[in-house]
Amino acid sequence: MMKSFKIACFSLSIIALPLLSCNGNNNSKNESDSDAMSTTDSTVITELAVDYSAGDQTFKSYAAYKEGGENLPVVLVVPEWWGVNDYTRSRVKQLAELGYFAMAVDMYGDGKTADDPATAGELATPFYKDAQLARKHFEAALEKAKSFNQVDSSKIAAIGYCFGGSMVLNMARLGLDLKGVVSFHGGLNGGLTPAQKGSIKAALLVLHGEADSMVPEEEVKAFKKEMDEAEVNYKFIGYPGAKHAFTNPNATAVGQKHNIDVAYDETADKASWEELVSFLSSVF
């Protein structure tokens, strides 16, 4: 079992939600998707505007991969509670540059985004209260990703930021068939879906700031206890001095604007990304 106890963890409770902020050629089987190309370090990246649906709900998202790639492992990216914005797309593109087929998950539907904590809280709250609703929207993105010719559908991982971190941990708790799940400053409270022995198939990596005021110490302890009792394969890393949303370069300005305790931490951002790169390599 992978465990690291240099610990500090973020927890996003439903009660606290109103106060928080997280801060070319179409090779797909789906003809409705549009694409563009960009070049990074001599590598051509195909970028796709991706539309998909589940029942009567439509979703608008974004995917990227290296041009000419095939049998690519998939990494789904669940965004902060702001929705699929430029920051989310930048992370998707970074993953594509590493050789993955990366796709953002539009949890809210119709590509909805938020610019203020109140709106973001309204959009995010239903997914904390209803784990099956979250699962439905996550699985809609999962099935869409599997439909692309470039992917190896037996190799899928999910990562999430803030709200997204909480969501991907809950997808693991629900037993989804994922190779790995990574939470960046995400919520730890399982809420309606606590882990049970044998229920989690994915390896877990939790990356959190030790100065994250949005996570009480008791929730950190509760998460560890939950994972230990369920015999989960997990690794937990805390970054000294890092606050909530430490991976987002815009976090400090957002915190100042809305008077919330979030801030960017370049050292923690780079270190946590290196952990992600190593983790994905190991699970795939």
If you search the block for the tokens 């009660």, which residue do you land on?
Answer: 15
Average of per-residue pLDDT values in the chain = 88
pLDDT at position 2: 46
Beta strands in 33-192 (DSSP E): 34-40, 43-54, 57-66, 72-78, 101-104, 151-161, 180-184
Return the pLDDT at 192: 84
For 249-261, what is the mean pLDDT? Answer: 97
- Sign of the torsion formed by the C-alpha atoms of 136, 142, 144 and 146: negative
Is 90 exceeded by the pLDDT of residue 185?
yes
Q: What does R_g of the chain's alpha carbons equal in angstroms?
A: 17
Name the helix (H) or strand (E) containing 135.
Answer: helix 131-146
Q: For the purposes of burial, counting CB atoms within 10 Å of the CB of 216, is it exposed (0-12), middle (13-18) or buried (19 or more)?
A: middle
Residue 182 has pLDDT above 90, yes or no: yes
For 201-240, how does the pLDDT look when each residue is reduced to its tens digit (9 = 90+)?
999 999 989 999 987 778 888 999 999 999 999 999 999 9
Percent of the chain whose predicted confidence (pLDDT) is above 90: 78
pLDDT in the model for residue 131: 94
pLDDT digits (tens, 9 = 90+) for 18-31: 334 455 333 444 43
User: What pLDDT score does 20 carry?
Assistant: 43
pLDDT of residue 133: 96
For 88-137, the pLDDT digits (tens) are: 999 999 999 999 999 999 999 999 999 999 999 999 999 999 999 999 99
Q: What is the pLDDT of residue 22?
A: 58
Average pLDDT over residues 234-249: 96
- pLDDT for position 23: 57
pLDDT score recorded for residue 4: 40
